[in-house]
A and B are shown apart, each in its own frame.
Chain A
Amino acid sequence: MSVHSLSRNHTLFKLKLYLLCQILIFDKNTDATLQVDISDALSERDKVKFTVHTKSTLPNFKQNEFSVVRQHEEFIWLHDSFVENEEYAGYIIPPAPPRPDFDASREKLQKLGEGEGSMTKEEFTKMKQELEAEYLAIFKKTVAMHEVFLCRVAAHPVLRKDLNFHVFLEYNQDLSVRGKNKKEKLEDFFKNVVKSADGVLVAGVKDVDDFFEHEKTFLLEYHNRVKDASAKSDRMIRSHKNAADDINRIASSLYTLGTQDSTDLCKFFLKVSELFEKTRKIEARVAADEDLKLADLLKYYLRESQAAKDLLYRRSRALVDYENANKALDKARAKNRDVLQAETSQQLCCHKFEKISESAKQELIDFKTRRVAAFRKNLVELAELELKHAKVTTVQLLRKSS
């Protein structure tokens, strides 16, 4: 099978995601007033098309149930619109889903197609199956990430009412959100640089409120450690996958040895080869499950903790602004000039700061609850899966060897 036909098949790779909620890191919101999910996804040459399905009893929508097709850029647009909206400064904005990245997988498929001549037919089919499974796994993951984002927005008491969100869900034409061009990307980059520099300055300001002070230190440390844990877990899982690949090759070699050998060893080798084949599949599954339950969890909380940090930053920023406005007001009063202006601006800052503080507190508490629940769910599932796989492997090994 040539690479072209392979890739053609993948351009039309469709997937029905029935039990997607199983892979979710976040418990699906079962609120009847607004339920969002991704019911279907289509992977094309270089983009993925998600079918966003909404069920709602809210009066804002024309129908009770409808679907639209969205692409990754549109999700990003929605996320950015939240971030840029001053009204939402006091909320943890659900982190944007990562870009679907099939490059690595596609490259491997390419290499496989090129190397087709140099391996036996069985090896080729086996490797192709594996790569396809990998592709499928990445696909499922990216869909899950996008769905989690939407569900979080739908579950948030304020964000779910956002107009852009409703447009996103309902408008069945293309939203024509072009990706950022170079100039805008550069602007973003500078904005980020300024923000991080500012963040450092602002972080130095000690907070009056103990709760927030504690949260600040906690989040900073937590974020760094989650980053580290996420990287290390990725490495561990990659080694695991490599080991599984090796077992695959060993199984094929044993098979060849078995077919060639003329002594009693021949049947023995064939059996052992089969055994290795089975254990390899399980090892690969273990790696995949670890990836899903552990690595993805950590990656997600890396992004969430960043979002929480961003919230704290905004609050600190608002606090600094408030304090500056106070100072300006005092100065204006002293000079008795532009007092009204200074007063209104101070009022605004105060109001803004208090609003942010209030919602931030709740948001951070919710964040903790969500985090604990997610970790619990995933760790339990991880342990259960590991147990299951280890038991299955043991049974396989024992059964085969008698």
Chain B
Amino acid sequence: MADTVRDPPPDGTDFHELEDGEELFPEPAAAPEESQPASLPAEDISTNSNGPKQDLLFDDDPEDLFAEATEEVSLDSPERDVLLSDGPSPAITPITPPTSVITPRIGHAHDDMFTHSSFDEIEEEEGGDSFDIHISVSDPEKVGDGMNAYMAYKVTTKTSMSLFKQKDFSVKRRFSDFLGLHSKLASKYLHIGYIVPPAPEKSIVGMTKVKVGKEDQSSNEFVEKRRSALERYLMRTVKHPILLKDPDVLQFLESSELPRAVSTQALSSAGLLRMVNKAADAVNKMTIKMNESDAWFEEKQQHFENLDVQLRKLHASVESLVCHRKELSVNTAQFAKSAAMLGNSEDHTALSRALSQLAEVEEKIDQLHQDQANGDFYLFSELLGDYVRLLTAVKGVFEHRMKTWQKWQDSQMLLQKKREAEAKLQFTNKPDKLQQAKDEIKELEGKVQQGERDFEQISKTIRKEVSRFEKERVKDFKTIIVKYLESLVLTQQQLIKYWEAFLPEAKAIS
């Protein structure tokens, strides 16, 4: 199975650690791998600096993933930048520094999510151009007023690829521009089997709040959520080697003025047409029964169905966790206030001081919980949400294959009928009708051949796409979950710091 999932890379070095079974979490039994850098990112780090990293809190695991994280909890770690600027190294994904997770609060922390994974798309590019592009979406600005207002985002591209005219440029785009890009790409590529990443969803409620001008926490969160979603969307799109070269994408990234994508509005004629099409598709899906000759497709479809169900479940649980952590943060803050009051009324001075300290500790912890909740959300929950939506796109691609097959079969059946009609006509004396029939048959034969070719093509494309998708999925999940775990570790370490500071105060009560 491993072979069909991954196309054998021309240059095998990048995936050697996966193929050797040396994964992020090696089995304890795999003794020979212990000598090598045990974890993907550590490969980068340990080659550069094995010595000083040895004196950790937990000596058992000198080459563990979080070598950097345990060394110092203080927020500035200058040596990290040195490591990262090592250029496009053959190793995969160095860890992003802990700083980016803690600061800023609602962070651009997850910006870095895609930066480093871009380094190893090298062997995928047939053009020889190293895949080096980083897109960031920032500075959401409200333009206009009232119901016509919209948020403009700055899309900055930093790249060294020859595909682009400049190395570093930015444009202003609004949400409907993104939707417009997606609909163009979808109409061009979906039906021939390419998995086009879905754009973030429209949210009428969210946007209305922003338009109306409520400058409150929830609308800020909404804008941040959207900004981060747009960034991930663009990065996913450009990671696709075919989509990257698409002129619409290039125009989107480069040109300063973009024609307004009106057809993305929900109530426009195009919108209505889309809805009708969706309904028609749903009916068709139920009526097409395909003769699946290729077990691979059947298996894959089943696999994606299962994955979809599981991911949705996981997503729901993670969302619930985010909710409860936010609640925990609020309740902790309230408790902190209450404890401070209690400390005030306590007349034994040492105890009073200790209680005030407790209140402070709890306040800091509440902040910690808030940050963790954000981490939970932006790292984990959004990843899952993205994949749930991506899977819909994947399923769509499979459906298109079925439709192609259907078309092919239809033209084949039509050809059959015409041939029968022609055979019948041969016995009548209508030469011009016969000629007409012969012409039609020729045409249909061409169509049938085309249909067959289309079907083969889409099947081939889908195979490639699916393998690419799976590779991306594996990478994405690993990277992000590792990051998430890192954030958990950091939270715990902060907790340790706070409680350690409190303990002597508590002991000082006499």
Interface residues of A (CB under 8 A from B): 218, 221-222, 225-226, 228-229, 232-233, 235-236, 238-240, 242-243, 246-247, 249-250, 253-254, 256-257, 260-265, 267-268, 271-272, 275, 279, 368, 371-372, 375-376, 379-380, 382-384, 386-387, 390-391, 393-395, 397-402
Contacts and interface: CB of A to CB of B under 8 A. Distances in A.
B56 to A, nearest CB: 9
27 contacts: A225-B344, A232-B337, A239-B332, A243-B321, A250-B314, A250-B321, A257-B307, A260-B306, A262-B303, A264-B474, A264-B478, A272-B485, A279-B488, A368-B348, A371-B348, A379-B506, A394-B70, A394-B492, A394-B493, A395-B58, A399-B64, A401-B65, A401-B66, A401-B485, A402-B25, A402-B39, A402-B66
Interface stretch (B122-130, B158-166, B323-331): B323-331
A256 B317 CA distance: 13
A398 B324 contact: no
B382 to A, nearest CB: 15
Contacts of A263: 5, 470, 473-474
Contact of B338 (A225, A246, A399): A225
Contacts of A395: 58
B358 interface: yes
Contacts of A239: 324-325, 327-328, 331-332
Chain A at the B interface: mostly helix, strand, loop or mixed? helix
Nearest to B336: A232
Interface in B295-322: 303, 306-307, 310-311, 313-314, 317-318, 320-321
Contact of B345 (A221, A383, A384): A221
Contacts of A250: 314, 317-318, 321
B101 interface: no
Contact of B64 (A247, A265, A383, A402): A402
Contacts of B456: none
Contacts of B1: 262
Contacts of B168: none
Residue in A226, A264, A380, A387 whose Cβ sees the most chain B Cβ within 10 Å: A264
A226 to B, nearest CB: 6
A196 to B, nearest CB: 21
A379 B358 contact: yes
B474 A253 contact: no
B262 interface: no
A158 B240 CA distance: 84
Chain B at the A interface: mostly helix, strand, loop or mixed? helix
Interface in B328-376: 328, 331-332, 334-335, 337-339, 341-342, 344-348, 350-351, 354-355, 358
B58 A397 contact: no
A370 B492 CA distance: 33
B485 A265 contact: no
Contact of A402 (B5, B65, B318, B358): B65
Contacts of B273: none
Nearest to B62: A402
A257 B347 CA distance: 56
A218 B334 CA distance: 22
Given A253-B313, A379-B358, A390-B492, A232 B499 contact: no
B335 A268 contact: no
Contact of A391 (B311, B334, B496): B496
B415 interface: no
A134 B345 CA distance: 34
Contact of A390 (B25, B335, B495, B507): B495
B509 A228 contact: no
Nearest first, the 9 A-B pairs at minimum CB distance are A402-B64, A239-B328, A246-B321, A376-B509, A253-B314, A379-B506, A236-B331, A232-B335, A271-B25
Contacts of A228: 338, 341-342
Nearest to A243: B324
Contacts of B25: 267-268, 271-272, 400-402
Contact of A398 (B306, B478, B489): B489
Nearest to A387: B499
Given A232-B334, A256-B310, A383-B499, A398 B506 contact: no
Contacts, number: 195
A397 B339 contact: no
A265 B328 contact: no
B5 A262 contact: yes
B310 to A, nearest CB: 5
Given A232-B331, A253-B314, A399-B58, 11 more contacts: A218-B347, A228-B342, A232-B334, A242-B328, A253-B317, A257-B310, A368-B347, A372-B350, A394-B489, A397-B492, A399-B61
Interface string B472-485: 01100110011001
A383 B365 CA distance: 13
A236 B337 CA distance: 12
Given A239-B324, A380-B507, A399 B23 contact: no
A391 to B, nearest CB: 6
Contacts of B506: 376, 379-380, 382-383
Given A397-B485, A397-B489, A401-B65, A229 B503 contact: no
A226 B474 contact: no
Interface in B90-121: none
Contacts of B489: 394, 397-398
A298 to B, nearest CB: 8
A394 B327 CA distance: 23
A265 B338 CA distance: 46
A316 to B, nearest CB: 20
Nearest to B482: A401
Nearest to B26: A402
Nearest to A227: B338
Nearest to A239: B328
Nearest to B481: A272
A371 B354 CA distance: 13
A375 B358 CA distance: 12
Contact of A264 (B23, B335, B499): B23
A390 B492 CA distance: 5
B342 A226 contact: yes
A225 B341 contact: yes
A226 B64 CA distance: 46
A90 B310 CA distance: 66
B205 interface: no
B261 interface: no
A260 B314 CA distance: 14
A247 B334 CA distance: 24
A288 B331 CA distance: 16
Contact of A246 (B310, B324, B503): B324
B58 A268 contact: no
Contacts of A383: 499, 502-503, 506
A387 B303 CA distance: 44
Residue in B57, B327, B499 whose Cβ sees the most chain A Cβ within 10 Å: B499
